[in-house]
Structure 1
Amino acid sequence: MATSAQQTRRARVRAPEPTGRRWLNTGGERVRLSDLRGKVVLLDFWSFCCINCLHVLDELRPLEEEFADELVTLGVHSPKFEHEADPEALAAAVERYAVHHPVLDDPELSTWQDYAVKAWPTLVVVDPEGYVVHVAAGEGHVEALGKVIGEVVVEHDAKGTLHRGDGPYVPPENPGTTLRFPGKVIRLEGGTMLVSDSAQHSLVEFAADGETVVRRIGSGERGSTDGPPTDELPVGDLPAGGPVTDGPVTDGRVRAASFREPAGLALLPEPVAAEVGYDVVVADTVNHLLRGVSLADGRVTTVAGTGEQWRSGPAQPGAETLPALEAPLTSPWDVCWWDPVGGIVVAMAGNHTLGLFDPIAGEIRRFAGTTVEGLRDGDVTEAFFAQPSGLADGGRRLWLVDSETSALRWIEVSPEGLENGFEVHTAVGTGLFDFGHADGPAEQALLQHPLGVAVLPDATVAVCDTYNGAIRRYDPETGEVSTLATDVAEPSGATLIDGELVVVASTAHRLERPVPPGVAAQLVRGAAQQVTRPATEVAPGEVGLVVVFTPPPGQKLDERYGPSTSLEISASPSELLVEGEGTGTALNRRLVLAEGRESGSAADGVLHVVAQAASCDDDGATEHPACRLTRQDWGVPIRIVSGGPDRLPLVMGGLDDQES
């Protein structure tokens, strides 16, 4: 395998100038690569709907700090949904996710196409002379990127072409509000409400009016410390036995509990809460943890997760049940107690699955999904999900929204005789690339990236149709979809207070009651829309799919225990792929695509590709070298065109020689 320095000398591909509508976080100034000569530049192609992109934003923070004098990160926002092309929505997302580098607003995907990007997220390293030296798709590349960037810094420092100093980032103003991009809300006993104040990394309890603050739980700083609800507490005031954790103590005072972008909240049944010692389970999303909160004193404890993000393998989510505190999670986005399973169902947005947490046993396992991103119904172990983000208890049905397929779905107890006991069904939604705002029969209705769901008193289902800024209603009896309210600022969660729907208006930073009692539903006959991402053209018949992966500097593929790579391929619809479906060990595959398909949309179908590669430190003197697993999932929309390319390269890490 070639090192990145060898790739640099071999490839010498000049990086195109980024083009788009405007720049954010620059004080209004335009950024040009030509003005950044002497700096290492990292382009991050992202979309704020994409959970993997949000993972990368957090992964890059220590890298940006390590190379603060040599590296300039430039976000290139390449929207998937129409709402993401709204400049105000993007500005809100940049603040919400604490993006501390310049961001290019590229609604037409001009720069995406100039760099031949095929996946969110994609990272491109440009050297101080303006040449592309490394490309990586997906997440989990931060260590490899650090080695590549370090190697480039050394090379160009020696050449005299490296210039150190500040970059073009200009921080925006920080407005102060009680809530900042809140996520979810639940009703507590007594009529108060608990809200996850996601961007301020805490929980806020409100009185029944939704405005009067009763208390705040958490320090407001990013962290994962367990402990009391307030910022500091004198040790002398602690109950016998001291603090609940060995959290930091400063000047004789215990620091408050802390979160990182908490989202979903679930109230435990009273008997369960009495046994486990906490009342509320919190999806602490960016920490990859579940936290327990005691409402009596506001104390926070970690109840599931290790703090490390799940990447792959048998650890949770997986077939086996594991001790909850030994199981890595991945971006839990919502949580819900559901009696038919006797536990907390966890919307594991980070790998498109649902987990099941048993608070009494202190165990967790996968409940539904395969980790393939898509929309497929059936047995829970074979179903595909796409960033599940909202859950609601409907008795025999567990309602959920899949944000990336703009779908409302449900799980119910399956008929006797099926092996796993539960089935997945879809009420609204057709796939990864179709969305809109259209009411009517469910098979014709369209949503746009919904994040929340609630069951109404009449057993109909309210959907927080986030990117349409609307509250929608689905009637399971008639199969009809209607619109209850519009002009709600990115609704992301909802609960019922005395029969009235209370909604989290996330980008308005408040709770709202947008559906007055007795309001008549309206019908919106909107047009169907599709993702603007261009489909990849390929030839009919035989196509060679190649996943490009080069181990980072100082590493090699790990062959000690058998093949170090794997490749899984499927298609939607399944008839798109005549040959080549299944799992193998080589990172290349001969595919045969169906010929003569009628193309009535932007794409003939989607190839689902999951690739993995294990690499270890290449040091013969080390008895137990450190090893890492790189994994990437692609959903590639393809269009079969006569005379199209018969080779489909997907870059997981490195450079594609044939494309250089």
Structure 2
Amino acid sequence: MSSEHKPKRARVRAPEPTGRGWLNTGGQPLRLSELRGKVVLLDFWAFCCVNCLHVLDELRPLEREFAEELVTIGVHSPKFEHEADPEALAAAVERYEVDHPVLDDPELATWRDYAVKAWPTLVVIDPEGYVVHEAAGEGHVEALRRIISELVTEHEGRGTLHRGGGPRVPPRQADTTLRYPSKALGLEGGTVLVADSAHHSLVEFAPDGETLLRRIGSGTRGAADGDPDTASFREPGGMTLLPRHVAERVGYDVVVADTVNHLLRGVRLADGAVTTVAGTGAQWRDEARGGPAAETALTSPWDVAWWEPAGGVVIAMAGNHTLGLFDPVAGTVAGFAGTTVEGLRDGPVEEAFFAQTSGLAVDEAAEERGEPRLWLVDAETSALRWIRPGERGFEVHTAVGRGLFDFGHADGPAAEALLQHPLGVAMLPDGTVAVCDTYNGAVRRYDPEAGVMSTLAREVAEPSGAITVEGELVVVASTAHRLERPVPPGVTAQLVEGAAHRVSRPATEIAPGEVELTVVFQPPPGQKLDERYGPSTRLEVSSSPEGLLVSGEGDGTELTRRLVLAEGFEHGVLHVVAQAASCDDDSGVEHPACRLTRQDWGVPIRLTPDGAARLPLVMGGMDAG
């Protein structure tokens, strides 16, 4: 259901946030009752979630603009077991430069109190302590700005607004050569290029992985091109070497996924010069998927790999669950795989579902045998997958992985093996695949011929990337801030009988049979739905496992839909994608702007006779049902 008018509803007092502890407050707890007079913004997030990381960056200018009126509180509600580790959360708060207080909510107590159903979710609380707005997903900054401005004006007039500084107490930061490195790339001569993510630069080491040879990038957040001392990045990620004949034509040797800038950068190794080669700096939100590289928006490119069968650089665009393709010679970007729906579905690349693809590796030995494969890891489905050419185009296959909510550390046959949020993948000299099993703190080995997963090393601090140097595996130990060689010579594998886990996020109880799905969206103040060229809204619904939905799957333009859930299922997931276009109204705006709001939900459900017959999902506004 959508409306241009705010529904009338009883005022709801915001529950006090409760959890295990607080960060960025000097250890002191915060209470909403002590923040009366301030507008409070709760940001429900998990550090595994790339959309949550987008929101952290979106909120920075808003927090500066309303520095004396607004208090942002991050409520960290973990998806994966590893995220519930307080040390891991403290590292993530530092890594991503979170500038506001953060509540550690490992049991999802505050998540439940606010009936949250998606990461990220934003909740606005007025200066008197009442919930006035909710929004799921990203891209809500302009709506928040208008809502906060209205609240400031209203409560200033009523004398209930109190200006002043916020409660944040910044933590101390250690000084290390690398800070949360993300990926590594082997160069000619055995040197290693490392993406030094939190230092926003690249570092080249001697073959020992410790002797620093040079740094490329000023170390400050930015997107400036130029020489190594003036160029800048924002949390750079994966890198790939171009074939020599291509590098000679385009004038650079390495393509870098400049993740938070939503750009690809080119680096000339001879002098370290950096140029922007793809992306606009804006995040891709619409359906435009290709065109000139400098005019085509990307979204969180996490890794890149030159793959000859595809004819260019494959881009793991974690932010919208797709793979792109960059042609350096033609200077173009095109869509390569994925639909933007987050999930695990194999088949033709144009129909496949991905889930925050974070690592790519080309199987060069297989290419020499005429059996090309591109390996990838999907972090949010804890999956190891591969792509290969088929008779009718490229096809996606899954080696290990079950879906959005299943993970663990278990070895053995692929159907029984489990990973936990892997971020990196590399080929081993024997043709097997090394997986950086990040949230298990392990390096795993998958044998494609035997279809068996095993463990090479444990107790590695968030491994996020790996390469082989002279036959030895070099791993990026991200939260240890260094490169490591955790696999002793001669060690091949050990089998681990680990436990299986499911996400602790509570499933929504739904009755089998007919259910009303309602996506709630109200345009922000001063805007109206954009119906100049037809319907302004779109809703796409699918489900897993197959057969869960008797009817209601597919695309449509209404944000309310009748679903029929099959009998005989106990659990499942509803995949819901909604979007709405809105524009400034005619109230004297000189240059009206239009915006597209989009959200992708994966809603775990439990079917029970006593379950609800209505499922509301708030994309923006307040549910009046």
Same fold (TM over 0.5): yes
User: For residues 202 and 585 of structure 1, do their structure 2 counterparts lie closer, same or farther at Cα, with a shift above 3 Å needed?
Assistant: same
Matched, 1:330 2:306: no
Equivalent position of 2:328 in the other structure: 359
Q: Which amino acid aligns with 1:277?
A: G
Whole-angstrom distance in 1 between the partners of 2:326 and 2:25: 44
Deviation, 1:624, is: 6.3
Equivalent position of 1:139 in the other structure: 138
Deviation, 1:11, is: 3.4
Whole-angstrom distance in 2 between the partners of 1:482 and 1:644: 41
Equivalent position of 2:159 in the other structure: 160
Q: Is the 1:273–1:279 contact (alpha carbons within 8 Å) kept by the matching residues of 2?
A: yes
Matched, 1:606 2:610: no
Deviation, 1:644, is: 1.1
- Give the fraction of aligned pairs with identical amino acids, expressed as a percent: 77
CA deviation map 1:314-367 (0-9, x unaligned): x22xxxx41001000000000001111121000000000000100010011010
Equivalent position of 1:110 in the other structure: 109
Runs of 4+ in 1 over 4 A off after TM superposition: 1-4, 620-624
Equivalent position of 2:251 in the other structure: 277
Whole-angstrom distance in 1 between the partners of 2:492 and 2:203: 32
Whole-angstrom distance in 2 between the partners of 1:561 and 1:482: 55
1:358-397 alignment runs, 5 A limit: 358-394=327-363, 395=367, 396-397=372-373
Deviation, 1:276, is: 0.4
Q: Is the 1:12–1:131 contact (alpha carbons within 8 Å) kept by the matching residues of 2?
A: yes
In structure 1, which of residues 467, 485, 491 is the aligned counterpart of residue 463 of structure 2? 491
1:554-565 alignment runs, 5 A limit: 554-565=526-537
Structure 2 unaligned residues grouped into runs of 5+: none
1:82-231 alignment runs, 5 A limit: 82-230=81-229
Matched, 1:657 2:609: no
Matched, 1:505 2:477: yes
In structure 1, which of residues 391, 401, 409 is the aligned counterpart of residue 377 of structure 2? 401
Deviation, 1:520, is: 3.5
Equivalent position of 1:243 in the other structure: none
Equivalent position of 1:441 in the other structure: 413
Q: Is the 1:11–1:133 contact (alpha carbons within 8 Å) kept by the matching residues of 2?
A: no
The alignment partner of 1:516 has SS state of: coil
Whole-angstrom distance in 1 between the partners of 2:611 and 2:557: 27
Whole-angstrom distance in 1 between the partners of 2:468 and 2:243: 17
Whole-angstrom distance in 2 between the partners of 1:610 and 1:164: 39
Q: Is the 1:201–1:220 contact (alpha carbons within 8 Å) kept by the matching residues of 2?
A: yes
Structure 1 unaligned residues grouped into runs of 5+: 231-255
User: For residues 638 and 621 of structure 1, do their structure 2 counterparts lie closer, same or farther at Cα, with a shift above 3 Å needed?
Assistant: same
Equivalent position of 2:64 in the other structure: 65
1:192-341 alignment runs, 5 A limit: 192-230=191-229, 256-313=230-287, 315-316=288-289, 321-341=290-310
Deviation, 1:595, is: 1.3
User: For residues 615 and 266 of structure 1, do their structure 2 counterparts lie closer, same or farther at Cα, with a shift above 3 Å needed?
Assistant: same
In structure 2, which of residues 592, 595, 612 is the aligned counterpart of residue 645 of structure 1? 612
Q: Which amino acid aligns with 1:613?
A: A
Q: Is the 2:4–2:529 contact (alpha carbons within 8 Å) kept by the matching residues of 1?
A: no
The alignment partner of 2:547 has SS state of: helix
CA deviation map 1:127-164 (0-9, x unaligned): 00000000000000001000001100100000100000
Whole-angstrom distance in 2 between the partners of 1:332 and 1:569: 26
The alignment partner of 1:143 has SS state of: helix
Q: Which amino acid aligns with 2:342?
A: E
Whole-angstrom distance in 2 between the partners of 1:338 and 1:293: 19
Matched, 1:39 2:6: no
Q: Is the 2:3–2:521 contact (alpha carbons within 8 Å) kept by the matching residues of 1?
A: no
Deviation, 1:538, is: 0.7
Equivalent position of 1:413 in the other structure: 389
The alignment partner of 2:78 has SS state of: coil
The alignment partner of 1:614 has SS state of: strand
Whole-angstrom distance in 2 between the partners of 1:11 and 1:550: 17
The alignment partner of 2:573 has SS state of: strand
Equivalent position of 2:566 in the other structure: 594
Q: Is the 2:45–2:52 contact (alpha carbons within 8 Å) kept by the matching residues of 1?
A: yes
Q: Which amino acid aligns with 1:76?
A: V
In structure 2, which of residues 507, 514, 517 is the aligned counterpart of residue 542 of structure 1? 514
Equivalent position of 1:252 in the other structure: none
Deviation, 1:623, is: 8.0
Whole-angstrom distance in 2 between the partners of 1:180 and 1:19: 31
Q: Which moved more, 1:623-632 or 1:435-444?
A: 623-632
Equivalent position of 1:584 in the other structure: 556
Whole-angstrom distance in 2 between the partners of 1:166 and 1:326: 40
Whole-angstrom distance in 2 between the partners of 1:186 and 1:11: 57
Matched, 1:572 2:544: yes
CA deviation map 1:410-457 (0-9, x unaligned): 00111x2x1xx1100000001000000000000100000000000101
Q: Which amino acid aligns with 1:323?
A: P
Q: Is the 1:3–1:553 contact (alpha carbons within 8 Å) kept by the matching residues of 2?
A: no
Equivalent position of 2:47 in the other structure: 48
TM-score, normalised to structure 1's length?
0.92
Q: How many residues align?
A: 617
Whole-angstrom distance in 2 between the partners of 1:173 and 1:596: 54
Q: Is the 1:46–1:122 contact (alpha carbons within 8 Å) kept by the matching residues of 2?
A: yes
Equivalent position of 1:426 in the other structure: 398
Deviation, 1:86, is: 0.3
The alignment partner of 1:182 has SS state of: coil
CA deviation map 1:89-134 (0-9, x unaligned): 0000000000010000000000000000000000000000000000
Whole-angstrom distance in 2 between the partners of 1:380 and 1:466: 26
Whole-angstrom distance in 1 between the partners of 2:14 and 2:163: 20
Deviation, 1:620, is: 5.7
CA deviation map 1:202-238 (0-9, x unaligned): 00000001011000000100000000001xxxxxxxx
The alignment partner of 1:83 has SS state of: helix
Deviation, 1:10, is: 4.1
